């Protein structure tokens, strides 16, 4: 989604590596960007459940006042099985999966937050007693992130939910909804992100999460979970 939205001439969209630095230190006013671009967006999966909190917190960025003040939110949701599978399959050079390296650590950190603990006390206790197995860590991580969409809706915030499966099966229709939600005009470049250059790529030319920016929108990751073991 970040790559797709960045393809629109009126949008600059930051990925996590740069976006978090700007948001967590309160330096948005120092942001230098093309004034012809109408909107600046941020990909923020680490903080999706915290948008309504007065104080945000994170394992790597510490605690700081909320950076969210009612800006429009595009909330992408996806089949929990594909999400858990993706987190289990994403591996680092040391062989650790995302679930082991980050998921478990983030979950344990959030377990210390009063609001989180009050909301998920029962299921959190189950995960803790089981020894934080990967499949339960992934399931709880998916649940509390996805629950955040309904919290934003209940709070009457400007939010639009987009199903990943709908996006890849009917991209033009779903993306038309997004640009309308953002108050912009349609541009065909939204369907051609793979033909454009993008920032925040690693040494191998990949985006965060191992996403290949040269691949067009595809359905290969829908029901990718199949039969697998964690």
What's the rounded Cα separation, in Å, for the pair 2 and 4? 5
Cross-strand pairs, 56: 64
Q: Write the pLDDT tens digit of every residue in 150-176.
A: 999 999 999 999 999 999 999 999 999
Q: Given a cut of 80, is residue 29 above it in pLDDT?
A: no
What's the rounded Cα separation, in Å, for the pair 38 and 20? 20
Cβ neighbors of 192 (< 8 A, separation 6 or more) are: 7, 216
pLDDT band at 31 (very low <50, low <70, confident <90, very high): low
Cross-strand pairs, 211: 207
Model pLDDT, residue 99? 93
Which run of H or E residues covers position 136?
A: helix 134-154
pLDDT band at 11 (very low <50, low <70, confident <90, very high): very high
Q: What does the block give as tokens for 130?
A: 């089981």
Model pLDDT, residue 34? 58
Q: Scan for tokens 């470049």, then name that residue.
A: 189
Q: What does the block give as tokens for 122?
A: 């029962």
DSSP letter (8 states) at residue 49: G
What's the rounded Cα separation, in Å, for the pair 219 and 14? 24
What's the rounded Cα separation, in Å, for the pair 77 and 161? 7
Q: Scan for tokens 């965060």, then name that residue.
A: 208
Q: Given a cut of 80, is residue 25 above it in pLDDT?
A: no
């Amino acid at each position: 989604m970040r790559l797709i939205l960045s393809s629109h001439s009126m949008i600059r969209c930051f990925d996590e590596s740069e976006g978090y630095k700007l948001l967590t230190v309160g330096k948005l006013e120092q942001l230098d960007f093309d004034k012809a671009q109408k909107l600046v967006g941020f990909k923020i999966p680490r903080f999706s459940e915290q948008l309504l909190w007065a104080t945000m917190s994170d394992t790597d960025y510490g605690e700081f006042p909320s950076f969210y003040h009612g800006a429009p939110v595009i909330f992408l949701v996806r089949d929990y099985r594909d999400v858990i599978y993706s987190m289990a399959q994403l591996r680092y050079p040391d062989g650790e999966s995302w679930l082991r390296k980050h998921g478990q650590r983030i979950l344990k950190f959030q377990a210390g937050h009063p609001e989180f603990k009050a909301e998920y006390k029962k299921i959190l206790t189950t995960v803790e007693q089981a020894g934080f197995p990967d499949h339960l860590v992934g399931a709880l991580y998916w649940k509390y992130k996805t629950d955040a969409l309904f919290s934003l809706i209940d709070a009457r915030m400007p939010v639009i939910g987009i199903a990943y499966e709908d996006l890849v099966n009917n991209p033009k229709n779903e993306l038309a909804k997004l640009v309308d939600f953002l108050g912009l005009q349609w541009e065909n470049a939204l369907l051609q992100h793979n033909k454009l250059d993008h920032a925040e790529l690693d040494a191998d030319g990949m985006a965060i999460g191992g996403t290949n920016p040269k691949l067009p929108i595809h359905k290969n990751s829908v029901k990718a979970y199949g039969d697998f073991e964690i």
